[in-house]
Amino acid sequence: MKVRFILIISLLISGALSIFASSYPDGLEKVAEDKDFLESAISWWGGLIPDYAMPGVASGKLATALAGIIGALIVFGLLYLFGFIVNRQRS
Amino acid sequence: MHLPDGIINNQISVGFIAVAVGFLIASFSKLRKSLTEKVVASKLALADGPAIESPVNQRSLLTKKGKERMELMAMLGALIFALQMINFPVTNGTSGHLIGGFLLAVTLGPWAGLLVISMVLAVQSLVFADGGLLALGANIFNMGVIASLGGYFLYRLLSISKLPQFVIIGFVSWLTVVSASLFCALEIGLSGTINFSAVVPAMVKIHSLIGLGEVLLTVLIIKALRLKLYEG
């Protein structure tokens, strides 16, 4: 398996499979709901792409797919840049 | 299991930010040492006089293996981000998703694994508001320090036994999810948001189910992508 394949697989998962993800609350959210402390949560930072939906895209599925692809690319890009930091010149 | 802001109080949040920063600095330096080699100035000086000014002498260069591992770190970071988007239904209106902290540790090594999962969590928090910015330290602790470092060292410990490797990997990946949820619940309890007796059993119970998904996905991904296990 070529390592580079993994990026393509990641983009397929984040850009296509993500549409079929369950919309049920996750474990922590569900516990917070059941035990009545979800309202303690505050959101003072909305993020650039809130709720994994690309803003300004009418179709919900497309918005999720785009958000997923962009997110996977950002993580990939930042970690790739990180390689240059590790490689940087010592003074 | 991404804590939003407000569920844990400010003192706890700030405390865990400090702890997370400490672990990240340590892992950066460990990783740098393991991936680079320094060109020793004195050797070159012996060879051709005062060549110490040459910039080559002062560089830490990535080794070939280091370059490959950096590339794999970026690839697996993208993969874990993608997989964390895939919530699977668990029971009674609840879903779960892969954490991947242990998967990263077992393939990239514990320190690289911690750095990669932290990057995923930071991007989720900053770009997608998934997990609070103040709570990022606690989230890195639960899903990184506990799952990647803690998981990896337990895995090495259990590897002494004669159990099949994938049984150990499966068991530890389950345990990292349950432990992360336990720490998450303890942080919520310590914050005074709700009683320990209410939050701890509920979190551990649901995550012992979600953890089964982690077992399946961790083993499946390592096998399907033919990932090599890290040998420190």
Cβ–Cβ below 8 Å for B5 and A78: no
Alpha helices, H only, chain A: 5-15, 27-34, 60-86
Contact B168, B153 (CB under 8 A): no
Question: Taking CB atoms and an 8 Å limit, are B7 and A40 in contact across chains?
Answer: yes
Query: Do A71 and B124 lie within an 8 Å CB cutoff?
Result: yes
- B87–A9 CB contact, under 8 Å: no
The pair of three-digit structure tokens given for residue A5, joined into one six-digit string:
């394949």
- Mutation target to probe the B interface, by most B beta carbons within 10 A, among A75, A81, A87 is A75
Residues of B in contact with A44 (CB under 8 A): 5
Contacts of A21 in chain B (CB under 8 A): 85-88, 95, 97
Predicted local distance difference test score (pLDDT) of residue B145: 98
Please count the residue pairs, one from chain A and one from chain B, whose beta carbons lie less than 8 angstroms apart.
222
- Residues of B with Cβ-Cβ distance to A31 under 8 angstroms: 185, 199, 202-203, 206
What confidence score (pLDDT) does residue B46 get? 55
pLDDT of residue A89: 57
pLDDT attached to residue A18 = 97
Burial label for B61, CB within 10 Å (0-12, 13-18, 19+), is middle
How much is the ipTM here?
0.95
pLDDT number for residue A85? 85
The CA dihedral of B27, B28, B31, B37, to the nearest 10 degrees, is -150
Alpha carbon distance B193, B6 (integer Å): 9
Hey, are the CB atoms on A75 and B81 less than 8 Å from each other?
Answer: yes
Among the partner-chain residues B72, B133, B202, the one whose CB lies closest to the CB of A31 is: B202
Domains of chain B, first to last? 10-35+63-224 (1.10.1760.20)
Position A67 scores a pLDDT of: 98
First to last CA, chain B: 29
Mutate to test the interface with A, among B87, B104, B115 (most CBs of A within 10 A): B87
B58/A46 CB distance under 8 A: no
Q: Of A29-33, A77-81, B53-57, B227-231, which gets the smallest average pLDDT? A: B53-57
| CA B96/CA B88 separation, integer angstroms | 5
Helical axes B165-190 vs B151-158, angle rounded to 10°: 140
Q: Mind listing the pLDDT tens digit for each residue in B36-54?
A: 887 665 455 555 555 555 5
Place of tokens 């049984």: B167
**Distance between CA atoms of residues A27 and A12, nearest Å:** 25
CA distances from A8 to A2, B82, B90 (A): 11, 11, 28
Nearest to B7 among A25, A27, A37 (CB): A37
CB-CB under 8 Å, A23 with B87: yes
Tell me the pLDDT band of A38, cut-offs 50, 70 and 90. very high
Q: pLDDT averaged over chain A?
A: 92
| Eight-state DSSP code of residue B193 | S
Partner residue facing B210 (CB), from A27, A36, A67: A27
- Cβ contact (<8 Å) for A52 and B188? no
- Residues of chain B short of pLDDT 50, as ranges, are 42
Mean pLDDT value across residues A86-90: 69
| pLDDT for the residue B54 | 55
